[in-house]
């Protein structure tokens, strides 16, 4: 075997090991969600009972509804604000821009527990009752910087002459943004929205501080269930979350491909 073939073989084995390390635990989790035993270490046959138990669990369904409401609302708001902020900061130069640019990274680099405590203190000072709306506002807050960063990365290779050509042909600034700028940066917008949605439905620490009565999310519910012992019900719930995430990813990829 020559050196090139040996390198290809080693690379393929390495890639296979990496993918196995990443996806085998997920495959095991999905398989155990169909296990007929309450013990995850013992396989006793195929069953859908755990999905039936999950479907009739009112508390889990309520937590799932809260998670989806918060996730989609926070994603839409953060994507709109983050995209406009990214375009504005890329296009315009003003005093204090570098300071404002640096402040965008603060919610990303500080520990989540610090941000959670800060948001809790802010809502307490404003006498805002904790609940679904405080969760939505908190999720919008920590999602916006991620959207801004992703969209600005897309804008880094943007040709402003295309906007100038559109306005020379009679397009207004709004028409130029909607028909020229937005379609060109749409892959970055979709990627930012997908990242924001993932961060929102996966958050535990910040949600723990700003959630109120009746606003429990799925991550908080799963965390409470795990403390009592891992059962196949949790595996079934995790499998459904995995399926939802895959559907969102495929949809986002289809939108991105259509934008190209």
Span between the terminal Cα atoms of the chain, in Å: 42
- What domains does the chain contain, in order, with CATH numbers? 58-259 (1.10.3720.10)
Please give the model's pTM, rounded to 2 decimal places. Answer: 0.80
Place of tokens 């606003």: 215
Is the separation of the CB atoms in 201 and 65 below 8 Å?
Answer: no
pLDDT, position 137: 93
Place of tokens 């949605």: 197
- Gap between the Cα atoms of 54 and 3, Å rounded: 54
- Gap between the Cα atoms of 151 and 104, Å rounded: 13
- Gap between the Cα atoms of 134 and 118, Å rounded: 13
DSSP string, 211-259: --TT---HHHHHHHHHHT---HHHHHHHHHHHHHHHHHHHHHHHHHHHH
pLDDT, position 229: 67
pLDDT along the chain (260 residues), means of 10: 72 88 87 79 80 85 88 93 87 77 81 90 90 92 91 80 77 79 83 88 89 85 76 82 81 69
């Amino acid at each position: 075997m020559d050196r090139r073939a040996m390198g290809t073989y080693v690379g393929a084995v390495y890639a296979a090991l990496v993918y196995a390390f990443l996806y085998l635990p997920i495959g095991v989790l999905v398989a155990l969600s169909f296990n007929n035993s309450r013990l995850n270490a013992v396989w006793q046959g195929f069953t859908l009972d755990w999905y039936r138990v999950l479907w009739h669990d009112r508390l889990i369904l309520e937590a799932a509804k809260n998670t989806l409401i918060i996730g989609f609302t926070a994603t839409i708001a953060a994507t709109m604000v983050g995209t406009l902020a990214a375009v504005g900061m890329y296009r315009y130069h003003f005093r204090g821009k570098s300071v404002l640019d640096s402040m965008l990274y603060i919610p990303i680099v500080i520990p989540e527990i610090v941000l959670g405590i800060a948001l809790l203190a802010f809502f307490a000072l404003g006498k805002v009752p904790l609940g679904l709306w405080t969760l939505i506002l908190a999720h919008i807050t920590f999602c916006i910087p991620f959207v801004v960063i992703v969209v600005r990365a897309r804008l880094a290779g943007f040709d402003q002459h295309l906007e100038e050509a559109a306005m020379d042909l009679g397009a207004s600034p709004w028409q130029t943004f909607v028909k020229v700028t937005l379609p060109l940066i749409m892959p970055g917008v979709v990627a930012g929205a997908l990242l924001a949605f993932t961060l929102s439905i996966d958050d535990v620490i910040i949600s723990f501080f700003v959630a109120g009565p009746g606003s429990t999310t799925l991550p908080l519910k799963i965390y409470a269930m795990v403390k009592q012992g891992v059962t196949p019900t949790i595996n079934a719930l995790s499998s459904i979350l995995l399926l939802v995430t895959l559907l969102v990813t495929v949809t986002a990829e289809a939108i991105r491909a259509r934008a190209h």
